Structure 1
Amino acid sequence: MIDTVTERVRALRSAARRISLTPLLIRAGVYLTVLAGFVLAFPAEVLAGQQLGALVLVALLPAVGPRRVWPTFAALVTVGGWLISTDGYGRPVTLWRLLALAGVLYLGHTLCALAALLPYDAVVDPVLITRWLLRAALVLLAASVLGVLLMGFGELGGDAGYQLATVAGLLVAVGVAALLGWLLRRR
């Protein structure tokens, strides 16, 4: 029994000595992105209360275990915070906040995917990280422009315009899903 415990402690020490900087920075980015999502989603009353400690812990979970259920759990907590702040606290829905929250959720998701691919002791070329973040920025820019255009389209026609914008957004989502499916089958 004691031998197995000391063996595990040695293995943990050995793994801690091999940790490289880039995977740790990416996991720190996951933590900060999830935390920024909580700040955008939750009302100030919740962030100033006792729940802040739990939110800090929930933001840490995807950074520690990006391959597990924690990124999804943190995203659901963020969406729950958004619903609490808009429905429970009467916080108005503003376009900038909605786009920022969607962007932070996507960035947290893509950083978790990158962190899940990299072992703690990986030596990573900075070009890989730059390309990954550039692609994420392009996706965020395209989604923001499309979202603003659809919202502007919706405002032109009143309630019917919003319904048309919703249908147009769903068609774009179906088109993107079909394109991704086609790209996967093409390989």
Structure 2
Amino acid sequence: MIDAVTGRVRAAQEAVARISAVPLMVRVAIFVTALAGLALAFPAEVLIGRPLLFLAVAAVLPAVGPRRLWPTFVALVMVGGWLLATDGYGRPVALWRLLAVAALLYLGHSLCALAALLPYDAVVDPELVTRWLLRVGAVLLGTAVLAVLLLQAAGLGGEAGYQWVTVLGLLVAVGVVALLGWLLRRR
């Protein structure tokens, strides 16, 4: 039993010694993105004391295990914090905060996808990460501009929120996922 523990400790030390800079920076970016998203989503009253420590631990989990369920867990916690802030604490829905939380969710998801492809000891050209982030930035910019234009065209926004818009958005998202799943199975 002691030999097994010693072997695992030695293997962990060797793995830490082989970590290269770019995969480590991607994982640090995952942590920072997740923590920023959680801090924006949750009400300020909740972020005092011990809950902040729990949110920091939750932000570390997808950085350590991007292939596991942790990115989904943090995204659900972030959405739960947003719902707690708007429904539980009565914080008005501000467009800038909504767009920022959505952007951080997408950025965190995309960085986790990149980190899942990169082994810890991979030698990666930094241009790969730059192109990846530029593509993510283009998607985020296009989505934000389109969202604001559609909200203005529909006359929605301001202080009043519309629950039917949220439900319609969720139905569209589920429909897109179902369509993509059907297309992938067909191929």
Give TM class, smaller chain. 0.7 to 0.9
Secondary structure of the 1:46 match is: coil
What is the aligned partner in structure 1 of residue 50 from structure 2? Answer: 50
Asked whether the equivalents of residues 62 and 74 of structure 1 are also in contact (C-alpha less than 8 Å), the reply is yes
- Mapped to 1, the partners of 2:142 and 2:167 lie a distance apart of 18
What is the aligned partner in structure 2 of residue 159 from structure 1? Answer: none
Secondary structure of the 2:83 match is: helix
Using the TM superposition, give the Cα deviation of residue 88 of structure 1 relative to its aligned residue in structure 2, in angstroms: 0.9
**Structure 2, unpaired ranges of 5+:** 157-161
* Greater shift in the superposed pair: 177-186 or 95-104: 177-186
The number of residues matched between the two structures is 182
- Report matched runs for 1:20-169 at 5 Å: 20-155=20-155
Using the TM superposition, give the Cα deviation of residue 16 of structure 1 relative to its aligned residue in structure 2, in angstroms: 1.1
CA change 1:175–1:112 in 2 (3 A) is same
CA change 1:146–1:166 in 2 (3 A) is farther
More helix by share: 1
1:91-147 Cα shifts (integer Å, max 9, x gaps): 110111111110000000000111111111011011210111011001101111111
CA RMSD of aligned residues (A): 2.7
CA change 1:139–1:5 in 2 (3 A) is same
One-letter amino acid of the counterpart of residue 33, structure 1: T
Using the TM superposition, give the Cα deviation of residue 167 of structure 1 relative to its aligned residue in structure 2, in angstroms: 9.7
What is the aligned partner in structure 1 of residue 159 from structure 2? Answer: none
- Mapped to 1, the partners of 2:71 and 2:47 lie a distance apart of 20
TM-score by length of 1: 0.85
1:56-88 Cα shifts (integer Å, max 9, x gaps): 111111111111111111001100100111011
Secondary structure of the 2:155 match is: helix
1:1-23 Cα shifts (integer Å, max 9, x gaps): 22222222221111111111111
One-letter amino acid of the counterpart of residue 111, structure 1: L
CA change 1:80–1:170 in 2 (3 A) is closer
Runs of 4+ deviating beyond 4 Å: 162-187
- Mapped to 2, the partners of 1:63 and 1:163 lie a distance apart of 33
CA change 1:166–1:34 in 2 (3 A) is closer
CA change 1:148–1:168 in 2 (3 A) is farther
TM-score by length of 2: 0.85
One-letter amino acid of the counterpart of residue 106, structure 1: Y
**Structure 1, unpaired ranges of 5+:** 157-161
Using the TM superposition, give the Cα deviation of residue 49 of structure 1 relative to its aligned residue in structure 2, in angstroms: 3.4
